């Protein structure tokens, strides 16, 4: 039985000055025509490297040190550079993650298509144009004739990815490798692109390898799954088996850590298989600690009140005011949050949810509307020291763990900055002690204080951000997509940490995300935003069981069906 693609015992190495790094060890997998193989793993697992190795596009100094890759029974490693070049595009196609940078911004898409068609097939001239039009229609782009003359920047992200798929299919390959094809796209567009890939796979009898870290994607279109961890394939099997009854421990904990959308659990199941996530740092009795002392205000009103919020941005400036193009980012937004509850703000990118968060935090000034944090009007807080106590009540955690910390400051200084600035202690040694306790409490360990951010992983940096936010003893914590940039396993531990902290400190949380299952697990109430407006506000359970607004229903439908996972 000859498979379309047969990989056996593949070893990929990267020699560096610190020694040789094994990106892949003894990797074996196979793909057949007409099936989708999902290659899933977290960042650093080596899955993209395997994809690159198949078509001989490993980044230097990477090299294949052992193993065989057979395509249609022929050994690819025996081929020379020119033969491989001909196989690329003609027989094996590849799609990359970011459609924005995959296309040459200075060439029309028609030119790029025709170039590939003429290279990979014998079609020339006008026939090539017609073939290009046909391809565009097959990937679902309407008005294809006009589109040929357009440039990439004139397309939206989803349409660009369709063009990329058309380019990959131009030579009519038998095998397509898709490396995180939907990661850079919106949720609703993701579903469309995945459907397209599945349709093309069946129609053209392609073999497809989908490389991804997103279990939802796997559940959506994969027929078979191979799970990678640290360069090794730990398990392979049918999608139903992998998702429903995983055998290997890592797979099991990985599947379990994916947030469920059907019921709210007490805590997220964390992925214990990963080495190094042991939390045996000392936990402080935070209620009796300095950190647990909340401000003495006896205020029993709403934690957060937002009324008729408006904000517009200038898109294109022009000499005359009427020619100026404005974008209404926030349109008449109103909601309120009780003390101690977790309020979720949901929407796709561009919905305005992050903008609302920044308005509340005081980073932007609204055009109209009122924002009250614990009764105090945010926009009348002047920047004088007298009002610092009001500023302390609100803190924020951000999405990108890499840009949310100043790379040139030590962790100690980063976390101590609010304490020092608000002059919350009387001595530097007291400050230091508090910082050490805080670092212990968030699971980093006091020894981290002398290190710099780049020495830590993404999840650890988020812990530092959390420590910094807690240092001013806030009562309202805004979390702007705090785990969207993290691996599933790390996500679970960070979210558990946030849950614990909220309970210990009685925090009110405003939780912003596009990920509905996470929202389900974290939030008590939910507001859905779209194009700057609020579509629906409701209690979490009510929302997930019977949503009212049509857009809410649309979002819920888009959630990957995890029914293959048994509870």
Partner 1 sequence: MLSFIMKRLAQSLLVMAIVSAVSFSLFNFVGDPVNNMVGQDATREQRVEIRQQLGLDDPIPTQYTRFIGNMLKADFGLSYRIKRPVDDLILERLPATLELVFVSAIISLFLGITLGIYTGIRRNSWSSRIILSSSLAGVSLPTFVIGIALIYLFAVHLRWLPSSGRSGTVDFGWWKTSLLTLDGWRSIVLPAVTLSLFQLTLILRLVRAEMLEVMRTDFIKFARARGLTERAINFRHALRNTLVPVITIIGLNIGGLIAFSVVTETVFQWPGTGLMFIQAVDFVDVPIMAAYLVLVALLFVIINLFVDILYFVVDPRIRLGG
Partner 2 sequence: MSQHSPKTRWERITDNDIMWSFLSSPGAMTAAVVSSIIILACLFAPLIAPFDPFDPAQISLWDGKLPPSWVEGGQSQYVLGTDNQGRDMLSTILYGGRLSILVGLAAICLGMVMGVTLGVIAGYVGGATEAIIMRLADVQLTIPGILLAILINGVGRAALPLEFREEFAIYVVIIAIGLTDWPQFARVARGATLVEANKEYVQAARIIGLPSWLIMLRHILPNTMRPILVIATIGLALAIIAEATLSFLGQGIPPTTPSLGTLIRVGNEYLFSGLWWITLFPAVALIVLVFSVNLLGDWLRDALNPKLR
Residues near partner 1 (CB under 8 A) are 55, 57, 85-90, 93-94, 96, 98, 101-107, 115-116, 119-120, 151, 153-154, 164, 167-168, 170-171, 316, 318-319
Smallest gap from Cβ 102 to partner 1, in A, equals 5
Cα–Cα dist 493/497, whole Å? 6
Residue carrying structure tokens 């807690």: 470
Kindly state whether residue 238 participates in binding partner 2, applying the rule CB under 8 A.
no
Smallest gap from Cβ 325 to partner 2, in A, equals 20
Cα–Cα dist 297/374, whole Å? 10
Closer CB to partner 1, 105 or 125, in the complex? 105
Nearby residues of 199 by Cβ (< 8 Å), 6 or more positions away: none
C-alpha radius of gyration, the chain, whole number: 26
Main-chain phi, psi angles of 411, to 5 degrees: -55, -40
Residue 89 contacts which entry, partner 2, partner 1, none (Cβ below 5-8 A, type-dependent): partner 1
Helices (H) and strands (E) in the chain, counts: 20, 20
Closer CB to partner 2, 234 or 397, in the complex? 397
Q: Tokens standing for 385?
A: 């020291």
Cα–Cα dist 530/331, whole Å? 10
Closer CB to partner 2, 77 or 432, in the complex? 432
Smallest gap from Cβ 388 to partner 2, in A, equals 6
Smallest gap from Cβ 383 to partner 2, in A, equals 7
Cβ atoms of 520 and 526 within 8 Å: the answer is no
Residue 457 contacts which entry, partner 2, partner 1, none (Cβ below 5-8 A, type-dependent): partner 2
According to DSSP, residue 386 is labeled G
Smallest gap from Cβ 17 to partner 2, in A, equals 6
Size of the site for partner 2 (CB under 8 A): 36
Residue 330 contacts which entry, partner 2, partner 1, none (Cβ below 5-8 A, type-dependent): none
Smallest gap from Cβ 144 to partner 1, in A, equals 18
Residue 549 contacts which entry, partner 1, partner 2, none (Cβ below 5-8 A, type-dependent): none
Kindly state whether residue 465 participates in binding partner 2, applying the rule CB under 8 A.
yes
Kindly state whether residue 403 participates in binding partner 2, applying the rule CB under 8 A.
yes
Smallest gap from Cβ 345 to partner 1, in A, equals 30
Closer CB to partner 1, 164 or 476, in the complex? 164
Phi-psi region of 470 (alpha: psi -120 to 50; beta: other; left: phi over 0): alpha
Cα–Cα dist 23/231, whole Å? 5
**Pattern 341-370, partner 2, x by CB under 8 A:** -----------------x--xxx-------
Nearby residues of 284 by Cβ (< 8 Å), 6 or more positions away: 291, 437, 440, 441
Closer CB to partner 1, 88 or 463, in the complex? 88
Q: In what order do the strands lie in the sheet with 368-373?
A: 325-337, 304-316, 368-373, 376-377
Closer CB to partner 1, 155 or 343, in the complex? 155
Q: Tokens standing for 438?
A: 């805080």
Smallest gap from Cβ 542 to partner 1, in A, equals 42
Question: Which residues lie across from 533 on neighbouring strands?
Answer: 530
Closer CB to partner 2, 194 or 414, in the complex? 414
Cα–Cα dist 244/254, whole Å? 12
**Which residues in the 414-453 window bind partner 2 by CB under 8 A?**
414, 417-418, 421-422, 447, 450-451
**Which residues in the 73-112 window bind partner 2 by CB under 8 A?**
none
Phi-psi region of 532 (alpha: psi -120 to 50; beta: other; left: phi over 0): left
Residue 85 contacts which entry, partner 2, partner 1, none (Cβ below 5-8 A, type-dependent): partner 1
Cα–Cα dist 551/273, whole Å? 38
Kindly state whether residue 295 participates in binding partner 2, applying the rule CB under 8 A.
no
Nearby residues of 81 by Cβ (< 8 Å), 6 or more positions away: 56
Main-chain phi, psi angles of 59, to 5 degrees: -75, 135
Buried b (16+ CB within 10 A) or exposed e, 330-349: bbebebbbebebbbbbbbbe
Residue 107 contacts which entry, partner 1, partner 2, none (Cβ below 5-8 A, type-dependent): partner 1
Closer CB to partner 1, 104 or 287, in the complex? 104
What are the residues binding partner 2 (CB under 8 A)? Answer: 17, 358, 361-363, 383, 388, 391, 394-396, 398-400, 403-408, 414, 417-418, 421-422, 447, 450-451, 455-457, 460, 465, 468-469, 472
């Amino acid at each position: 039985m000859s498979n379309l693609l047969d990989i056996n015992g593949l070893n990929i190495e990267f020699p560096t000055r610190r020694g040789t790094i094994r990106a892949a060890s003894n990797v074996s997998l196979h793909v057949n025509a007409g099936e989708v193989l999902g290659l899933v793993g977290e960042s650093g697992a080596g899955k993209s490297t395997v994809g690159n190795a198949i078509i001989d596009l490993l980044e230097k100094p990477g090299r294949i040190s052992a193993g065989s890759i057979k395509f249609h029974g022929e050994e690819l490693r025996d081929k020379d550079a020119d033969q491989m070049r001909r196989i690329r595009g003609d027989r094996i196609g590849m799609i990359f993650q970011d459609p924005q940078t995959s296309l040459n911004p200075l060439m029309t898409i028609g030119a790029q298509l025709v170039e590939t068609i003429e290279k990979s097939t014998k079609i020339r001239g006008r026939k090539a144009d017609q073939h290009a039009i046909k391809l565009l229609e097959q990937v679902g782009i309407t008005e294809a004739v006009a589109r040929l003359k357009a440039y990439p920047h004139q397309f939206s992200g989803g349409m660009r990815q369709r063009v990329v798929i058309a380019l990959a299919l131009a030579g009519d390959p038998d095998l397509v490798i898709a490396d995180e094809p939907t990661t850079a796209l919106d949720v609703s567009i993701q579903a469309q692109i995945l459907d397209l890939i599945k349709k093309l796979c069946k129609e053209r009898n392609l073999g497809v390898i989908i490389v991804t870290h997103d279990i939802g994607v796997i559940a959506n279109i994969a027929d078979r799954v191979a799970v990678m961890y640290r360069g090794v394939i730990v398990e392979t099997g049918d999608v139903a088996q992998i998702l429903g009854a995983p055998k290997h421990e890592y797979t099991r904990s990985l599947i379990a850590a994916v947030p469920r959308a059907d019921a709210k659990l007490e805590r997220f199941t964390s992925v214990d298989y990963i080495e190094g996530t042991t939390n045996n740092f000392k936990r402080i009795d935070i209620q009796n600690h300095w950190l647990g002392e909340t401000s003495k205000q006896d205020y029993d009103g709403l934690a957060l009140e937002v009324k008729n919020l408006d904000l517009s941005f200038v898109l294109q400036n022009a000499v005359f005011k009427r020619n100026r193009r404005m974008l209404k980012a926030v349109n008449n937004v109103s909601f309120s949050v009780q003390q101690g509850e977790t309020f979720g703000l949901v929407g796709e990118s561009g919905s305005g949810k992050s903008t609302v968060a920044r308005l509340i935090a005081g980073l932007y000034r609204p055009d109209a509307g009122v924002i009250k944090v614990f009764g105090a009007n945010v926009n009348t807080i002047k920047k004088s020291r007298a009002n610092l106590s009001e500023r302390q009540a609100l803190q924020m955690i951000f999405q990108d763990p890499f840009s949310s910390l100043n790379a040139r400051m030590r962790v100690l200084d980063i976390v101590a900055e609010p304490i020092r600035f608000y002059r919350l202690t009387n001595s530097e040694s007291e400050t230091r002690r508090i910082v050490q306790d805080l670092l212990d409490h968030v699971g980093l360990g006091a020894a981290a204080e002398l290190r710099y951010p780049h020495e830590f992983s993404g999840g650890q940096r988020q812990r530092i951000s959390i420590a910094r936010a807690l240092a001013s003893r806030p009562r309202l914590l805004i979390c702007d997509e705090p785990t969207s940039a993290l691996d599933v396993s790390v996500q679970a531990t960070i979210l558990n940490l946030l849950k614990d902290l909220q309970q210990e400190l009685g925090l009110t949380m405003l939780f912003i995300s596009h990920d509905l299952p996470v929202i389900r697990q974290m939030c008590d109430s939910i507001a859905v935003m779209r194009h700057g407006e609020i579509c629906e506000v409701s209690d979490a359970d009510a929302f997930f069981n019977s949503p009212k607004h049509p857009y809410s229903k649309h979002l819920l439908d888009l959630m990957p069906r995890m029914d293959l996972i048994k509870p």
